[in-house]
Amino acid sequence: MSHGSERHERRETYGAYGSGHRVPAPDRTGQAEAFDAIGSRYDDAFPHKEGQLAAVDALLADLAPGSRVLEVGSGTGVPTSRQLVDAGHTVVGVDLSAGMLELARKNVPGAEFRQADLASLRPEVGEEPGELGQFDAVTCFFTLLMLPRTEIPTALRLLRSMLRPGGRLALSMVEADLDDAEIPFLGHTIRVSGFLRDELRQVVRDAGLEITGEHTYAYAPASTEVPPEHQLFFNCRRAGK
């Protein structure tokens, strides 16, 4: 559930996704600090990631050799960044947590990792951490859970803008009717949101993404502190120009 912000700054980088306006970036310091503290225990609590591995396998089948791929919410880099690098692709990972990024750089030295908020990502190339250009594919596994519901549609439109025309998005969420709810998570408190399946499908399509594949996993984490969940995986394609 890890995902992307520069830790202790409130930067004027959270654009209105196409309007050209800049507004203050949301303060996700608490989320970052929780994942800094959780560190490698995240992979211990979620040791089996069959759905995530299968979603990346489906993505790899659609990618040309040497594609450029962005992992949003890269966490420890395992398994997704490693899976993509091992397949010969160029990988850029972004995450909220400096502690997670330290682990990712050790786990997947062949990828590039940056500390940046999802909200700061831009399809332009520049000197800011979030100015990354466009990609052939984006992966975003459980990262949007960390956002309030009102932010998720705009985040999806932003991710679409990070894709080249026809580019692919591998997305996952936990199916839940929640909006910015506090939950205990591995000894810390985090805030999460979710949608029920039909509503999530509509949110994804409204963002200009075509759903090309979908699968669901019932998942029981190894940690007794984390309840069982239904994980939704969508493989998507950027629709239109």
What pLDDT shows up at residue 184? 76
* Cβ neighbours for 46, distance < 8 A, ≥ 6 positions apart: 219, 221, 222
* Cβ neighbours for 157, distance < 8 A, ≥ 6 positions apart: 17, 18, 207, 208
CA dist., res. 189 & res. 122, Å (int) = 29
Residue 20's Cβ-count burial label (10 Å; 0-12, 13-18, 19+) is: exposed
Chain-centre distance of CA 48, in angstroms? 18
What pLDDT shows up at residue 1? 42
Residues of the chain where predicted confidence (pLDDT) is lower than 70 = 1-25, 29-48, 222-227
113's tokens? 């990792």
What pLDDT shows up at residue 44? 66
Omega before 79 cis (within 30°)? Answer: yes
Whether residue 170 contacts residue 137, with contact meaning beta carbons closer than 8 Å, is answered with yes
pTM for the model: 0.85
Residue 13: strand, helix, or coil: coil
Residue 31: strand, helix, or coil: helix
In the predicted model, what is the mean pLDDT of the chain?
Answer: 85
What pLDDT shows up at residue 22? 47
CA dist., res. 25 & res. 35, Å (int) = 19
> b vs e for 55-84, b when ≥16 Cβ sit within 10 Å of the residue's Cβ?
bbebbbebbeeebbbbbbbbbbbbbbbbbb
Whether residue 9 contacts residue 119, with contact meaning beta carbons closer than 8 Å, is answered with no
First-to-last C-alpha distance (Å) of the chain? 31
What pLDDT shows up at residue 69? 98
Q: What is the DSSP string of 39-92?
A: TTHHHHHS---HHHHHHHHHHHHHPPTT-EEEEES-TT-TTHHHHHHHTT-EEE
What pLDDT shows up at residue 36? 60
What pLDDT shows up at residue 35? 62
What pLDDT shows up at residue 38? 65
